[in-house]
Amino acid sequence: MYNSEIIGCGMYVPERVVTNHDLSKIMDTTHDWIVQRSGIEERRWVSPETSTSDLALIACEQAIKNAGIDKSEIDCLLFATISPDHDFPGNACFLQPKLGLTDIPAIDVRQQCSGFIYGMSIADAFIKSGQYKTILLVGAEVHSKGMDISTKGRDVAVLFGDGAGAVVIRRTEVKDHAKSSHIMSTHLFSEGSNAKALWGAAPGSGLGTVDRINNLHLEEGLQYPSMNGKKVFANAVRRMCECLMLALETNKVKLEDIDLFLFHQANLRINQMLAQELKIPEEKIFNTIMKYGNTTAATIPIGMTEAVKAGKLKKGTLVASAAFGSGFTWASSVYRW
């Protein structure tokens, strides 16, 4: 049976840096308040003319270059995002021509903060089945255009940033499962009964109105995301712990065997609590949320790329990832770089 291997990664974040001090000028908040609750010090936001697929394009081009392949070798495109350029068609269809690709499948993954690991799982399954050989997976978000950037919306607005991260995943034949570079396993979960604990109500067909969005919805602010922060935090820690341990047990590895933990970057306090619960040494966790905020589906591949640059992620590194997000959805993966 075939296996899959990550052979290159790339990232892109907008040039515009928005600090906590910048936000304190437009809403009732402070640098210390944001850092205390999230660990975030700054984030990147796009200029008005920039779209999600624009960010994805640059990250993908970098990943293709770093993988050392020609883009013509890509036979499937997966795009994880909750902030598409347009309502429809899927964002992978807008990215495909920008990359100069034709005819290959272009598929969107709509699993919010868990989207990248869900995408890894889909790519791994496609490759193991023999259907595709070289898959480009990208996670990208433009959150800054869809939030209530005011005191009313500050609990959500201070958390999110814009950015993109991408990987090239290619077929490989594994001779030694303990040492060869490959995706060892992925584990996916959801609990839809909590969907409204973190969601965007409008536009939508489930609002009980003729229109998917109308002036009343806008006046109520239903176009902006809302969150039950305490519920999200508690569930994130519990579910990420559970699925991470399952991934380790499945692969018969111990926590101390993992060289690097690349977790979704939703809130630094969640990752610190996760580390505390499982007694993971701080030096084994690579965090980027301090300077980029929560970029949803892009956080893990951004972390990969930053970790490579920092010398933390290199050939042979055994990595574990876990994510939790809206849905509720959560996921984990173990892979050797």
User: Catalytic residue positions?
Assistant: 113, 264, 294
Given a contact cutoff of 8 angstroms between Cβ atoms, the answer to whether 26 and 45 are in contact is no
Pull the structure tokens for residue 38. 């999230």
Pull the structure tokens for residue 252. 């018969």
In single-letter form, the type of residue at position 119 comes to G
CA dist 59 and 57 (Å) reads: 6
Residue among 298, 334, 266 at smallest CA distance from 116: 298
Q: Do you find a cis peptide bond into 89, omega within 30 degrees of 0?
A: yes
Given a contact cutoff of 8 angstroms between Cβ atoms, the answer to whether 84 and 93 are in contact is no
Q: DSSP readout, 82-127?
A: SS-SSSSS-HHHHHHHHTT--SS-EEEE--GGGHHHHHHHHHHHHH
CA dist 301 and 296 (Å) reads: 10
Helix (H) or strand (E) holding 63: helix 52-67
Cα first-last separation, the chain: 19
CA dist 145 and 235 (Å) reads: 27
DSSP symbol at 333: E
